[in-house]
Structure 1
């Protein structure tokens, strides 16, 4: 693999990369696109909702001009619904959001030719490096045991399960500390 460059995209710049993000999503999820929840249209709706937050940002990896993968996230705001879908409710102290307490990592994906190269970790860590939140949370399909183990190796802990949409799969909720509280 040649050198990978990373590009940071901030709130307000989504339209510059929307098609790229959707194209990579369609490639990565090609085997699931028949499921309405995983359709490109539904992904684009979720992307729009996530990117409308003024603290949204993405990191996109490129090899030359070729996109290899990306991750995007935004901080949870006061009253965020993120924690309300937990099957077993968490303590109110844990779920109280301030707007700068928890970063929600909404998507991280790498195209097949670059999987297993460490690029996912590099994109992930670059995204987190400039953030000021105390912790980061993400959802992972528990049936993807290898992916879940990978997140655990990056310092995430499984804290419960949730079903964020009526037609979504059940997800494991994971959290990693970013700094001392």
Structure 2
């Protein structure tokens, strides 16, 4: 495996690659269907995320073949990220400045590269150059019969609550970690 991790801050040159990987993994490999998981809805979310200041993606390539990606966006002062929490968080926890919290929006690895540590490599590469104080993500607690959430816990994330950001999305576990936490 000759993996190269490439950073992008402009979505357009890599949009189709990201959408194609997302569809392959979420719909075909994991059989996640319904409007929320459609290519169109994912592309809408990708457009919304990538239009925000500080958006960045890391895509892993094995030669010329894309193997996986992760992307993240800093939460700005007017973020809606915390509005769909099902239980309140402590005072001040949800105050955002654009530099306090990085939201890891997606991390997806194609089947031939799963189980190789690539997801963690992409994740750590994405966080390595960031200056935010903390990083948050949402995970479907039923994904992989709980194994995906356990993986994030192994990377230093802790569950802080639950949220359902869209009427047709799952209820996600909201997780947080210090970005400098090294596993």
Give the TM-score category using the shorter length: over 0.9
Q: CA RMSD in A?
A: 1.2
Distance 1:120 1:74, change over 3 A: same
Give aligned pairs, total.
177
Q: Which segments of 5 or more consecutive residues in structure 2 lack a partner in the other structure?
A: none
Residue 44 of structure 1 corresponds to which residue in structure 2?
A: 43
Residue matched to 2:64 = 65
Partner residue of 2:118? 119
Q: 1:143 to 1:166 in 2, by over 3 A?
A: same
Task: Provide the rounded CA distance (Å) in 1 between the counterparts of 2:110 and 2:2.
Answer: 16
Residue number in structure 1 paired with 2:109: 110
1:121 positional shift: 0.3
Consecutive unaligned residues of structure 1, counting only runs of 5 or more, are none
Secondary structure of the 1:29 match is: helix
Question: For the structure 1 residues 63 and 179, does the alpha-carbon distance in structure 2 shift closer, same or farther, using more than 3 Å as the test?
Answer: closer
In the TM superposition, residue 92 of structure 1 has moved relative to its aligned partner by 3.0
Q: Partner of 2:148 in structure 1?
A: 147
Aligned to 1:100: 99
> If the length of structure 2 is used for normalisation, what is the TM-score?
0.94
- Alignment check: 8 A CA contact 2:6 2:58 kept: yes
**TM-score normalised to structure 1 length:** 0.95
Q: Give the corresponding residue for 1:166.
A: 167
Displacement over 6 Å in runs of 4+ = none
